[in-house]
Amino acid sequence: MAEPWTVLKILKWTAGYLQERGIEGARLDAELLLIEVLKLDRVGLYVNYDRPLEATELAAYRQLVGRRARREPVAYILGRSEFWSLPLLVRPDVLIPRPDTEVLVEEALQRAGDECRILDVGTGSGAIAIALAHELPNARLVAIDISEAALTVAQENARSNGVGERISFQSGNLQRLPVGPFELIVANPPYIPQGDLAALQPEVRDYEPQLALAGGKDGLDCYRALAAQSPQCLSSGGWMLLEVGIGQAELVQQLLTEVGLVEVFCRNDYAGVARVVGGRRAVTA
């Protein structure tokens, strides 16, 4: 009789299989998918290395591993992710929130007053707005997205994280921002230049929404629109904070300076990449 597939044996096999298909972090992915099937936590998995898998478990695991081998991101397979240590539902309608974006939240929190009015442009899963609402109990937020499907996910996430009452989710195009005025406008807009889309990792290119990625010919279309509208949408002294892609920080700083914002700055993420650009409307008497 063939040796049974134990937890450890199948983990080793799967990690090798996924690695051969060019998947980084193959062992971790193998573990996350097995944790899902066996309904264990990480420790539970490690103390059960010798446990043989039942036929139904094996079949369910094979199916998930097949999806990952076709480069579907783990977050879409599991239907969930995490941002700012908050659990978020994710579906292929929304970008999977990235840890880099937490730097934008940090910068926003340094500038947010107690009863701040905040606009989150291109909210996607709602990650940024929900993190800010979670940290700022007296803030009122408006979160817009052009994608109705994304707004449905964002609303569900806000509800499950207990901040649904303080975020107004609205269908909207960043070419015409709500008038506000807002003390804080935050955005992680689509910023991949058209010509770079084809070379993205398959996980991103083939699974994440194009609407969340494509930023026009040079990747800066959304920044131009956001910068142009900032003077009328920001309150006196209000801040606009924007996540930017690699190599875009200087150009976006220039855009904010050109429309008259002051104290324009750039902040690196924890990998040392210039990641957040911000500027404020001058304080008027």
Ligand X SMILES: C[S@@+](CC[C@H](N)C(=O)[O-])C[C@H]1O[C@@H](n2cnc3c(N)ncnc32)[C@H](O)[C@@H]1O
Residues at the contact surface with ligand X, assessed by CB under 6 A: 95, 97, 101, 122-125, 127-128, 144-147, 150, 173-175, 188-190, 211-212
If DSSP codes are grouped into helix, strand and coil, which group holds residue 51? coil
Give whichever of 11 and 121 is closer to ligand X, judged by the CB atom: 121
CB of 188 vs ligand X, minimal distance in Å: 3
Alpha carbons 63 and 33: distance in angstroms, whole number: 10
Query: In this structure, what DSSP letter does residue 166 have?
Result: G
Those residues whose C-beta lies under 8 Å from the C-beta of residue 267, and which sit 6 or more positions away, are 103, 107, 274, 275, 276, 277, 278
Alpha carbons 277 and 256: distance in angstroms, whole number: 9
Give whichever of 34 and 226 is closer to ligand X, judged by the CB atom: 226
How many other CB atoms are found less than 10 A from the CB of residue 204? 16
Question: Where do we find the tokens 């340094």?
Answer: 110
CB of 191 vs ligand X, minimal distance in Å: 7
Name residue 282's amino acid.
A
Give whichever of 124 and 238 is closer to ligand X, judged by the CB atom: 124
Distance of CA 179 to the CA centre of its chain: 25
CB of 243 vs ligand X, minimal distance in Å: 7
From the list 145, 144, 118, the residue with the least C-alpha distance to 131 is: 118
Give whichever of 127 and 136 is closer to ligand X, judged by the CB atom: 127
Query: In this structure, what DSSP letter does residue 179 have?
Result: -
CB of 222 vs ligand X, minimal distance in Å: 7
CB of 246 vs ligand X, minimal distance in Å: 14
Alpha carbons 53 and 10: distance in angstroms, whole number: 9
Give whichever of 11 and 249 is closer to ligand X, judged by the CB atom: 249
**Residue 177 in contact with residue 229, Cβ under 8 Å?**
yes
β-pair partners for 187: 121, 242
Give whichever of 34 and 90 is closer to ligand X, judged by the CB atom: 90
CB of 245 vs ligand X, minimal distance in Å: 10
CB of 1 vs ligand X, minimal distance in Å: 49
Give whichever of 219 and 238 is closer to ligand X, judged by the CB atom: 219
